[in-house]
Structure 1
Amino acid sequence: MLGLNLRQEFKGRRLRGTAIELSNEANTGATQVSAQDFLEITYPTHDLLKGIEAVGPNQGRPVVVIGERGLGKSHLMATLFHAVHDPASTGAWLKNWSSTLGDPAIGGIQLRSGMLVIGESLHRQRYKFLWDLLFEQHPHGTYIKGKWEGMGAAKTDIPSDQLVLELLRHTPTMLLLDEFQTWYDGLTNTKQYPWKNWAFNFIQILSEIAKEHPDLLVLVVSVRNGDTDAYQQIHRVNPVQIDFKAGGSPERIQNDRRRMLLHRLFENRLQIASSSVDSVVAQHVSEYFRLVGTPAAEQDRKRREFTEAWPFAPHLLQLLEDQVLIATDAQETRDLIRILANLFKSRGENACILTSADFRLNDDASGIGALLDSVANQQHRTLREKALRNVTSVVEAVPDHVTKVPHLQEIMGALWLRSIAVGNLAGAEPAVLQVDVTQGKVVDDNAFQVELATIIENSFNIHQDGARLVFREEENPQAKVMASARNDKLFTDGSDLAQLAKEVRYVIGGSEEVAKTFRVIALPRSWMSEPWAGLDESEQLERWDERLPILVLPEEPDRLNEQLGRWLKDHLQKRRNTVRFLLPRAGTSNAFYDRDLLILARAEMKAQEWGAQSAEYRKLQTKYQNELRDLLKKRFDRFAVLHRWNFSEPSKCEFHVEALKEQGAKIPEAIEQALINDLFVPEDFQDLVLEAAAENASVGKLLRELQEPRPSGQDCIPWLGEPAMKERIVRLCARGKVAINLRGLEYLQAQAGEDEETAWKRLRPKLAFTGRQLDEVFLLPPSAVPSTGGAAPPVPTPGPPGTGGLFGGGVSPTPPVPGTGGESPANPTAPAAQPGGGIFGGGTGSGPRTTLSNPATSPLNLIGKLEGWGIGPATPVKEVTLKVSAATGAQLRELLKKLPDGMTFELSLDKEDS
């Protein structure tokens, strides 16, 4: 929009207040910043120039600034402060505006100098008596205070005019008393404590000194109105009154005020040429004249109004100033500035001129709706609810509504805003609504009439009031929810913090797939001192299982290595190497102190609480929930894991901090991929496993060691979870690096001549043990276990048929080692099977053979053993013997039924006599 720049203070997601404080604890008050910085946002209105002249040299009257809240009293008083405190900067500012506005009189205003300036906002109640302010801040105050208090019996209730004059003769002073009426009306006035009477008398002394000795005292006081006793004593000395009427004609008042508004909002509004503005708004102005019927004689004046008010339409400003804000408890200029700033942020880039139609009811991201809710009365809330429901009603009732009612949002927004005006001015004629929706492109009259008629027909609360259309009545659920969300007293139990933590957990780890592998814990706002306070029982340390813990920090640690190291030492006594810390973006505040996040969490809670009453509240719950989750998804962009541990000096711990590109529920998997691809060093892991194998350590012991930081400042090996770590151990076994003793039942190792992938597929399902079972699974060097496969051994010497254990037909060339694939029969001393192969038997064949056997086990394990021996469907086998130690007749019958057809079998057994 012609390069128009909003001031930086209005660019944030949530606007800071525009209220002016003379001073504050943060030293950012209007009198605590430099004159150049403050005057940069100040426009020389008629009232302000009048005030500067009134406190100039050769002036002898006190100054009273009169006006209700929000008109700019404090801003004016701060300007007067700088005018006397820094006349050089103020003079340069006046000369600059004199040139800009083409008014030499502005640059010729005389400024007072050489005075001490004391400014105080009395509503802060930091002083019980006015003389305390003087005594504390005046360089001669301590002396005069001591002199007054040392008068003994002659001491008066208030300091005398002589004492005050002595004080001022030492150092002439300008005294600014902001919010004097608020302070004065709050004073006690009893026989025992007649403080209001004393203040009444003392302000009389000050006002008379200011009139009679203007070289010693300049007195400036602000009050809300002239009807209070706080003002009467000053009124007696005929003060200069500044009442924000600006003087002159109504047109001059209006122009003065609007220029002030635009200068306060924008950095460069006055630098944009009028000719450029005229060309941008020409289409809108032309349609305005045609539709409203502006007489030709008035068109030049109206065109100048459009140019002066741009980027806002003058009819919008008039609506807000004269009708909308007058119907609310809004603080005049202050709230108008906030509304216009929000409007420009939301729509300024897309519109050539801003009108009532730019108040989009569905544009909550800009905050306009929330801001208007904050200043609205019951009528506003009712009408906004009706407008929102009407939009929904039209959308649901009109197929292809995007084509048939393209200006639905603009018309509803404009009609809603115009319906909250006061009295008979509420609502708008169709021609006015057409003007509002007209931007850089003309809207066809007939098409607009059809569109408007469609909207009216499908809405349930638009009424015809003469020639006007107007919204009427009913409560606004959104306003109710947001008003409750902003009320801190409703959430003293911390339920809003719990709700926010719940949403954090859901956003990061809410999906079922994530929850199977990861345990996501949102640490509370006091995470450094009480990390487990307030967490669900399932999230407490003693309830942790084998899932990978992701600890979500509410804020970015300012000294990450030191704070996380200290945290691990103090709050996690075991498995310190397993946690991942999820970090918020740099520069973000603690999530549990973030007003935006808390209000959304509260709004979601309240909408859910009232959801049984109305579907509107359930929609609002979804709306606020989605907004909150969208913010939380974008909040986290890094994670940290332990790199080096130092128990004795946790501040010397080191952490890996890695960036994340994924958001929301994709974060846990992204963390694991980053650990595997970027931080996990396979060589370090292999060295540790080989070391464990050399010591014949158990797999359980190795895994427990991996879950703890490595000592002596060694680099930690990232913990990837028990399944992943066991897979990597088996992978090393498949490479022939180690062997594994499976609880004495079986030994795993790569066979001679077997490639890694084949061995991996064979060995991978073997290490299925978990928990304490792994303490009985031992790692061994590969040389400690004989090979169970590979090249065929020498041809065995034929032996008696039936030997060879479960499956056998010959004698092994060497005695097999127990536990290997070449084990001897489970009972080597038992009688040999009968010739012919026992229950499964056949004749002996010719050619080289390898005798294989396995001790008694389940059928499923025997099928797996066949795969391990390399016996496939087409592999011929001879002398097959299946030994069954004991069976019932039923079991034997069932076994015989399942024998394959086309084969013969010999059966022998020992029957037990009854």
Structure 2
Amino acid sequence: MVLVISVRNGGSDAYQQVHRVNPVAIDFKAGGNAERIQQDRRRMLLHRLFDNRLQIASGTIEALIAQHVVEYFRLQDIPPSEQDRKRNEFTEAWPFAPHLLRLLEEQVLIATDAQETRDMIRILANLFKSRGEASPVLTAADFRLDDDASGIGALLDSVSNEHHRTLRAKAQQNIISVTEAVSNQASVAPHLQEIVSALWLRSIAVGNLAGAEPSTLQVDITRDHAVDDNAFQVELSTIIENSFNIHQDGPRLVFREEENPRAKLMACARNDKLFTDGSDQAQLSKQVRYVIGGTDEVAKLFRVIALPKSWQTDPWSTLDEAEQPERWDERLPILVLPEEPDNIAATLGRWLKDHLQKRRNTIRFLLPRSGSLNAYQDRDLLILARAEMKAQEWSGQNPEYKKLHTEFQSALRDMLKKRFDRFAVLHRWNFADPSQCAFSVESLKKQGAQIPEGIEEALVNDLFVPEDFEDLIVEAAADNSAVGKLLRELQEPRPAGQDCIPWLGETAMKERIVRLCAKGKIAINLRGMEILQTQPGEDEETAWRRLRSKLSFTGRQLDEVSLMAPSAVPTTGGSTPVTPTAPGGGDTGGLFGDGLPPPPNPFGGGISAGGETQPTSGGIFGGGPVAPGAKPRIPLNNPATSPLNLIGKLEGWGIGPATKVAEVAIKVSAANGAQLKELLKKLPDGMTFEISLEKEDD
């Protein structure tokens, strides 16, 4: 006979009386040992869940869970002295992991009334029915967010908490976000569902216990095969970067309803499907232009153009209209290449021939560091550009985005500043075979907005040869070339395989021309209004200070400014020196002492205004010596143009109503009878005129 009695008070007489016969004591409180209490509760749960649980041999269970237990010991850093006890816990708790049971009992279902056990049984039963055949041991990762039958439904019904339901919806949305952002999600994040499910379940715990450390999540997804540590870190990083409700709380990760601004921003930036319109590449180009040419000082002198991804085949169609070559002004163009060409000379030579029809000698090609990826294929650069762009768009929603915009913009610009370390300019041109072109490639020690200045310093100090430039200008002066035509020629490669003279810009080139004038190498005819050249006995610096501001014309005005040999013109400034007469009182001949006869006066064609003839200085129109007391004459002329322009020219020469002029010849190269008659009607009264012309024979 077995007598079972219960004595509630251990100090009562009844208790003392029973213990006189040494009964078998059964302590339902396990002596106050929490671990034994939990062990008893788990045995009771398993007994109520499974009819045949005790019929499964321990050896079979240990074989099923061996790999999971080993990884649990390693990742949770369990000391060897505790491992046997922990292994027994896994065996007794099977098919559930003991860390799952503790999570549900101590953190998720925190009630202590009888209802807790029934809810626990219902949750575990649904979990086993859904995932028991698929998993050798059931963990938090088996609560699949997309399957209510996996225990999720019973769990949510038990806790009756709307917050948990909302958090589940957020977690599901994060899974979609990762799937959309990662094209090869199956290989990069094969445990996406399990990791997010485990993190969600661990995040609905109360207090400071919410969330999980990465090692705990790795244990949750470990089954009969160990998960490689490096692969898991990559997978977890991918999930975190592309989810926007995962927050970092110390070492723990936790799902929260509120969005993590940084995570949301990076999740958006890494989603390639959101930038199929090329807006990220446009933003990257914008930042390249700003980093190199964004300051006002640089923008006044240089035009920085970041060429697109298709720069070799279609460089212009995607650029703004203002950046098209036909819209370029006098600023020096710096073309930023997105990648380093395989063969710089051949590639850039072909590019210049195919995509630029004029001003080929003005281009500076800015090259990235050797070994750099194409900027538009460099994912690090693109993601920073996307994050910076989206943070600026969203800055009105949350002040955090404004801070993130500043952060990512700074990071992107720092990378771009260090990206470029060389530039190339054309050295020798070959139109027939562009692959034979030669380029000068120079290194740069400056970064960011200092790059344009560094390029010009290298051009002036290392590539520009003053002697070649001087020879070219002196030769042009001998041919009386117009300055405008000469400058346009300098912007193009030199023909016949000659070395190109680097183009330094219109202002710099004009200054060097005037400097040669100050040296006495050339003279400059300023549109017939003034002749620039050195005066007798004048040193170079004095002449330079006097002449440097004279050549202020620009554009088409320079076509009316010509270069001349210095001995061919009288000196500018002061009175014009009298041309010395030849022995015997004769002149040296010609307008410039060249022995030529005076120009034909009447209409050949022309109309000569007569009247009192003033004596001219020696050598002008072949005249004789200057009469005593006569004033010297300055010859002035202008090429064929409109009457209005000629009136303006008279004003420019200082000819007013009272100014006396002589030997006036107005040349008309061709006219018909009506035009000639109209011209004669408009001649002023009180003067006589001589006419001669050539009439076509009928």
TM-score by length of 2: 0.53
**Contact 2:244/2:259 (8 A) holds in 1:** no
Write the letter of the residue equivalent to 2:279: S
1:489 equivalenced with 2:273 (yes/no): yes
Q: Superposed, which structure 2 residues align to 1:14-163 within 5 Å?
A: none
Deviation at 1:788, TM superposition (A): 3.8
Residue in structure 2 matching 1:527, options 295, 308, 311: 311
1:654 corresponds, among 427, 438, 449, to 438
Asked whether the equivalents of residues 345 and 437 of structure 2 are also in contact (C-alpha less than 8 Å), the reply is yes
2:507 aligned with 1:723: yes
1:420 lines up with 2:287 in the alignment: no
For residue 374 of structure 1, the aligned residue among 241, 266, 275 is 241
| Contact 2:269-2:387 within 8 A present in 1 as well | yes
Tell me how far 1:320 sits from its aligned partner. 3.7
Matches within 5 A, 1:790-829: none
- Quick one: structure 1 residues 744 and 655, their matched pair in 2 at CA, closer, same or farther if it must change by over 3 Å? same
Answer yes or no: is the 8 Å Cα contact 2:242–2:268 preserved in 1: no
Q: 1:769 Cα shift? A: 1.0
1:323 maps to what in 2? 216
Give me the whole-angstrom Cα distance separating, in 1, the residues matched to 2:134 and 2:493: 73
The one-letter code sitting in structure 1 at the alignment partner of 2:240 is D
Aligned twin of 2:496: 712
Q: 1:747 aligns with which of 525, 528, 531?
A: 531
Match for 2:567 among 783, 787, 797?
A: 783
- Describe the SS at the equivalent of 1:529: coil
Aligned residue identity for 1:748: L
**Counterpart contact for 1:329–1:375, Cα < 8 Å:** no
Task: For residue 519 of structure 1, give the secondary structure of its aligned residue in structure 2.
Answer: strand
Task: Name the amino acid aligned to 1:417.
Answer: G
Q: Distance in 1 between matches of 2:558 and 2:570?
A: 22
Q: Percent identity?
A: 62
Equivalent residue number for residue 426 of structure 2: 642
CA distance in 1, matches of 2:491, 2:407: 42
Does the 8 A contact of 2:337 with 2:368 survive in 1? Answer: yes
The answer on whether the counterparts of 1:604 and 1:621 sit within 8 Å (CA) in structure 2 is: yes
Q: Which amino acid aligns with 1:373?
A: I
| CA offsets 1:695-747 (integer angstroms, 9 cap, x no match) | 11111111111011111111000001111111111111111111111111111
TM-superposition CA deviations, 1:55-113 (whole Å, max 9, x none): xxxxxxxxx99999xx9xxxxxxxxxxxxxxxxxxxxxxxxxxxxxxxxxxxxxxxxxx
Equivalent residues in 2 for 1:685-700, closer than 5 Å: 685-700=469-484
Q: 1:500 aligns with which of 268, 284, 291?
A: 284
SS in 1 for 2:421: strand
CA drift at 1:690: 1.1
Over 3 Å counting, the alpha-carbon distance change for 1:226 and 1:419 in structure 2 is closer
What's the counterpart of residue 769 of structure 1? 553
From 450, 468, 476, the equivalent of 1:684 is 468
Q: Structure 2 counterpart of 1:509, which letter?
A: G
Is 2:404 the partner of 1:571? no
Distance 1:607 1:67, change over 3 A: farther
2:74 corresponding residue in structure 1? none
Equivalent-residue separation in structure 1 for 2:448 and 2:633 (angstroms): 55
3-state SS of paired residue (1:593): coil
Counterparts of 2:220 and 2:610, CA distance in 1? 104
Work out the CA distance in 2 between the residues paired with 1:66 and 1:560: 61
User: For 1:391-406, what aligned pairs fall within 5 Å after superposition?
Assistant: none
Q: 1:853 to 1:590 in 2, by over 3 A?
A: same
Report if the CA contact (8 A) 2:244-2:260 is conserved.
no
Q: How does the TM-score come out when normalised to structure 1?
A: 0.41
Offset at residue 787 of structure 1 (A): 2.6
Query: Would the aligned equivalents of 1:786 and 1:817 in 2 still touch at CA under 8 Å?
Result: no
The aligned length equals 413
Against the structure 1 CA distance between its residues 66 and 758, is the aligned structure 2 distance closer, same or farther, given a 3 Å change threshold? Answer: farther
* Residues 685, 502 of structure 1: alpha-carbon distance in 2 compared, 3 angstrom cutoff: same
Displacement of 1:333:
4.5
> Residue 17 of structure 1 corresponds to which residue in structure 2?
none
Aligned to 2:366: 582
RMSD of Structure 2 on Structure 1 (CA):
4.3
Name the counterpart of 1:273.
none
Q: Is 1:550 aligned with 2:334? A: yes
Shift of 1:782: 0.8
Residues in 2 aligned to 1:574 and 1:228: alpha-carbon distance in whole angstroms? 71
Q: Which consecutive segments of 4 or more residues in structure 1 shift more than 3 A?
A: 64-68, 225-229, 318-339, 418-422, 788-794, 813-818, 827-832, 850-858, 882-886
CA distance in 1, matches of 2:279, 2:500: 39
SS in 1 for 2:531: strand
Unaligned runs of 5+ in 2: 1-63, 72-130, 136-210, 581-586, 593-608, 615-630, 637-646, 660-698
**Structure 2 CA distance, aligned partners of 1:793 and 1:700?**
30
After TM superposition, give the deviation of residue 861 of structure 1 in Å.
Answer: 9.0
1:619 corresponds to which of 391, 400, 403: 403
Alignment partners' CA distance in 2, 1:663 and 1:830: 72
Q: How far apart, CA to CA, are the structure 2 residues paired with 1:338 and 1:680?
A: 58
Are residues 772 and 668 of structure 1, via their aligned partners in 2, closer, same or farther at CA, if it must alter by over 3 Å? same
Q: Which amino acid aligns with 2:554?
A: T
What is the SS of the residue equivalent to 2:441? strand
Q: Which residue of 2 aligns with 1:512?
A: 296
Q: Distance in 2 between matches of 1:601 and 1:781?
A: 57
User: What is the CA-CA distance between 1:853 and the residue it aligns to?
Assistant: 9.1
2: CA distance between counterparts of 1:654 and 1:65? Answer: 70
SS of the counterpart of 1:591?
coil
Counterpart Cα distance in 1 of 2:504 and 2:334: 12
Aligned pairs (5 A) from 1:349-364:
none
Q: Deviations over 1:129-149 (max 9, x none)?
A: xxxxxxxxxxxxxxxxxxxxx
User: Which letter does structure 2 place at the counterpart of 1:564?
Assistant: L
Residue 883 of structure 1 and its aligned partner are, at CA, apart by 8.0
Distance 1:757 1:329 in 2: 85
Shift of residue 774, structure 1, vs aligned partner:
1.0
Hey, what's the Cα distance between the residues in 2 that align with 1:707 and 1:484?
46
Shift of 1:684: 0.4
Query: Helix, strand or coil: the match of 2:549?
Result: helix
* Residue pairs, 1:332-351, within 5 angstroms: 333-334=227-228, 339=233
Identify unmatched segments of 5+ residues in structure 1. Answer: 1-63, 72-224, 230-317, 343-367, 385-415, 423-471, 797-812, 819-826, 833-849, 866-881, 887-914
Equivalent residue runs for 1:832-911 within 5 Å: 885=658
Q: Give the CA deviation at 1:374.
A: 2.6
Q: Which amino acid aligns with 2:556?
A: R
Contact 1:643 1:656 in 2 (8 A): yes
Contact 1:373–1:479 (8 Å) recurs in 2: yes
1:733 and 2:517 aligned: yes
CA contact (8 A) 1:640 1:655 kept: yes
SS in 2 for 1:565: helix
Structure showing greater radius of gyration is 2
Q: Is the 8 A contact 1:328 1:375 kept in 2?
A: no
Q: Per the alignment, in what secondary structure is the counterpart of residue 774 of structure 1?
A: helix
Counterpart CA distance in 2 for 1:418 and 1:603 is 25
Q: Matches of 1:611 and 1:679 in 2, distance apart?
A: 48
SS in 2 for 1:672: helix
Q: Does 1:603 align with 2:387?
A: yes
538-547 vs 576-585, greater mean Cα deviation: 538-547
Letter in 2 for 1:550: I
